Amino acid sequence: MLVTTTNDLAGYRIVRHIGVVRGLSVRSRNVVSNIGAMFQILRGGNISVYTKLAETARQEAYDLLLQHAAEAGANAIVAMRYDANEIAAAVTEVIAYGTAVVVEPL
């Protein structure tokens, strides 16, 4: 699966637009992670506990995006983006979305 943040794909021609596809991950922080993060916050610098949580959520959303596009019959995704929102205290959603297309080499 080819994925790009641009509206076209260099070296390829879009032959069919399938539509918007997405992958959604909703994650929460656990008490143990929050305690570990507090110590990291006191030291300053990168909060690795939260970095890992964010990366896991993004990867899961991306993988679900690819799955959704493949199920729709796409071989590429253009205009791919991420968005994230806190939907409750300590609960964050990450969505990966884009336009599923079928491309062929020029």
Please indicate, yes or no, whether the overall pTM of this predicted structure exceeds 0.85.
no
CATH 3.40.190.10 is right for the domain spanning 2-28+54-105 = no
For 35, the token pair is 């305690």
DSSP secondary-structure letter at 30? Answer: -
| Burial category of 52 from C-beta neighbours within 10 Å (exposed 0-12, middle 13-18, buried 19 and up) | exposed
Label residue 37 by pLDDT band (50, 70, 90): low
Helix (H, G, I), strand (E, B) or coil at 4: coil
pLDDT tens for 43-91 read: 666 667 777 888 889 999 999 999 999 999 999 999 999 999 888 777 7
